[in-house]
Amino acid sequence: MIVTEDILHIHSYYSPNDLYDKIINGLNKLGKDVSKVTLDDLQPVDEFHIRGDAATKELIELAEFAPHMHILDVGCGIGGSTRRLSYETGCRVTGIDLSNEYIDTAERLTQLLNMQEQVTFHACSALELPFADNAFDGVWSIQMNMNIADKPTWLKEIHRVLKPGGRAVLYEVCGSTNTPLYFPVPWAQDGSMSFLVPPASFRDAMTSAGFDIEVWNDKTDLARKAFANAKEPEGEPDLPVLGVYLLVGNDIQTKAYNLRRNLEEERVSLIETVAVKPDSGTAGVRG
Ligand SMILES: C[S@@+](CC[C@H](N)C(=O)[O-])C[C@H]1O[C@@H](n2cnc3c(N)ncnc32)[C@H](O)[C@@H]1O
Reported as a single tens digit per residue, the pLDDT across 159-200 is 999 999 999 999 999 999 999 999 999 999 999 999 999 999
**Ligand 1 pocket mutation, candidates 60, 73, 98, 219, criterion most atoms within 8 A of CB:** 98
Sheet of 136-142: strand order equals: 119-123, 92-97, 70-74, 136-142, 162-175, 268-276, 212-218
> How far is the centre of ligand 1, averaged over its atoms, from the C-alpha of 123 (Å)?
11
- Ligand 1, CB cutoff 6 Å, lining residues: 10, 14, 47-49, 75-77, 80-81, 97-99, 102, 125-127, 142-144, 147-148, 187
Helices (H) and strands (E) in the chain, counts: 11, 7
> How far is the centre of ligand 1, averaged over its atoms, from the C-alpha of 285 (Å)?
26
Q: Where are the beta strands (DSSP E) in 200-267?
A: 212-218
- Whether the per-residue pLDDT at 283 is higher than 50: the answer is no
Q: What is the mean pLDDT of residues 146-171?
A: 98
Residue 2: predicted pLDDT: 65
* Ligand 1: nearest atom to the Cα of 141: 6
> How far is the centre of ligand 1, averaged over its atoms, from the C-alpha of 43 (Å)?
17
> How far is the centre of ligand 1, averaged over its atoms, from the C-alpha of 144 (Å)?
5
**Ligand 1 pocket mutation, candidates 139, 144, 247, criterion most atoms within 8 A of CB:** 144
Residue 280: predicted pLDDT: 73
Q: What is the mean pLDDT of residues 43-54?
A: 97
> How far is the centre of ligand 1, averaged over its atoms, from the C-alpha of 86 (Å)?
18
Rounded to an integer, what distance in angstroms lies between the CA atom of residue 15 and that of residue 100? 8
Residue 6: predicted pLDDT: 79
| Residue that wins the pLDDT comparison between 234 and 282 | 234
Q: What is the mean pLDDT of residues 92-117?
A: 98
Residue 89: predicted pLDDT: 98
Q: What is the mean pLDDT of residues 203-224?
A: 98
Helix (H) or strand (E) holding 222: helix 220-227
Residue-wise pLDDT for 264-281, tens only, equals 999 999 999 999 999 974
- Whether the per-residue pLDDT at 71 is higher than 60: the answer is yes
How do the domains of the chain map onto residue ranges?
A: 5-276
Mean pLDDT computed over every residue of the chain? 95
| 5-276 is classed CATH 3.40.50.150 | yes
- Whether the per-residue pLDDT at 287 is higher than 60: the answer is no
Residue 284 confidence class, pLDDT cut points 50, 70, 90: very low
8 A C-beta contact, residue 59 and residue 140 = yes
